[in-house]
Amino acid sequence: MTDNQTLRGRLVDCDTHLYVAPDRFDDAFGAFGRRFQAIHDRTFGFQDVLSRERPVVDSSNVWKVKDWDTAGGYDFDDRMRHVDLMGIDRQILFPDGVVSKVLNSEILGSAEAASAYNRFALEWARPSGGRLRPTSVLRLQDADVIDRAQELAADGAHSFMVHCARPPGGLSPADERWDRLWSIMADAGIPLLLHSGADEGFLDKAWTSGTTLDSGPAMGAEGGPFALAMSHLSPQIFVSSLVLGGVLERHPGLRVGVLEFLASWVGPLGELLDHSERFYYEVRPRRLPLRPSEYLRRQVRVTPFFWEPIGEYVDRYGLADCYVFSSDYPHEEGGADPVQRLLKSIAGRPAGLAEQLFVTNGKALCPDLA
């Protein structure tokens, strides 16, 4: 039987966040630092997050102390101590929501700010020896995106986070003009990551505005049940383009992560793509050697929320290789006991499913380092 102790020290955590403390804005965003401070203060109001009193974090509360109440969000030494307390071997770190939104925007100076942040995050995490792996923001809308990708790969980037609300550069992700980028990533072992917030602008706010559906910002678990239930649509279209457009066949080393968009959609998507492909290939030659769901199984990974019934998903659709653990640390929506909750959701299934969910599947996005 797999339990917390069996997994302890081996957890592969595929979605966490790196906070940038206000006194590091200039370091993290370069010349854009002062402007980011103004954006931050307009969004949240002035917050003196560094001088607030914080509880002592130990094994009894490390999963419960969240957001700015824990220095583990932004302080390297605290972060390393906390991942040890949690029993985590390695984790992927994303920029926080407003940072991600600004760095992917068209605001003057945002491209340079993204480059500065990428350097800052990699340097911040470097002493961890690969246990902390910040993702690098890759702006697909920029004309020099290929050059940026090559530079980031040479600098030791662990993964690329991209925006998925619109066709990148006005092209399908399956357009062969993107093949050079996918090849760079596949050859370097750099996964392509779509994280909650990367769908910003996809869902017209008129669908919810002025109604009881309008429960908050439309991202992650914070936008109410409608926004959460629809959040997968943008990454689903992006991934479907990669699958049916042959990208994952042409680049079998490319791994794709879809993070904090729920996990309930991936099984039905595999079934839907298989049925759709089968219908069309009854009347025209088959172009791909594998079924679409087989590409999902081989190359796509998704993070469930801690409350999702993963065992039921696997019972219905298979695709056990696709599901990966995440804590969303230090965000509240990551839950206070995510490992135990997810273990409970797969109770009664083969013991190997827990090993897949918490360890081996996640290594597609956070692999062993040479």
Helix (H, G, I), strand (E, B) or coil at 205: helix
Q: How far is CA 219 from CA 92, 103, 173, in A?
A: 19, 16, 23
The alpha carbon of 71 is separated from its chain's Cα centroid by a whole number of angstroms, namely 22
Would you place residue 218 in the very low, low, confident or very high pLDDT band (cuts 50, 70, 90)?
A: very low
Does pLDDT of 93 surpass 50? yes
User: DSSP for 122-180?
Assistant: HHHHGGGTTSEEEPEE--TTSTTHHHHHHHHHHTT---EE---SS-GGGS-TTSGGGHH
| Cα maximum dimension of the chain | 67
Its sign, for the CA torsion 21, 127, 118, 247, is negative
Over 90: is that where the pLDDT of 108 sits? yes
pLDDT in tens, 283-305: 666 678 999 999 999 999 999 99
Write the CB contacts of 88 (distance below 8 Å, at least 6 apart in sequence). 11, 12, 13, 327
Q: Indicate the angle between helix axes 292-299 and 233-244, nearest 10 degrees.
A: 110
- pLDDT for 3 beyond 80: no
Q: Which residue has the higher pLDDT, 214 or 252?
A: 252
Measured CA to CA, the distance from residue 209 to residue 204 in angstroms comes to: 9
Q: How far, in Å, CA of 163 to CA of 155, rounded?
A: 21
Q: Of all residues in the chain, what percent carry a pLDDT higher than 70?
A: 95
Average pLDDT for the chain: 93
The per-residue pLDDT for range 152-180, each reduced to its tens digit, is 999 999 999 999 999 999 999 999 999 99
Name the token pair of 199.
């769908």
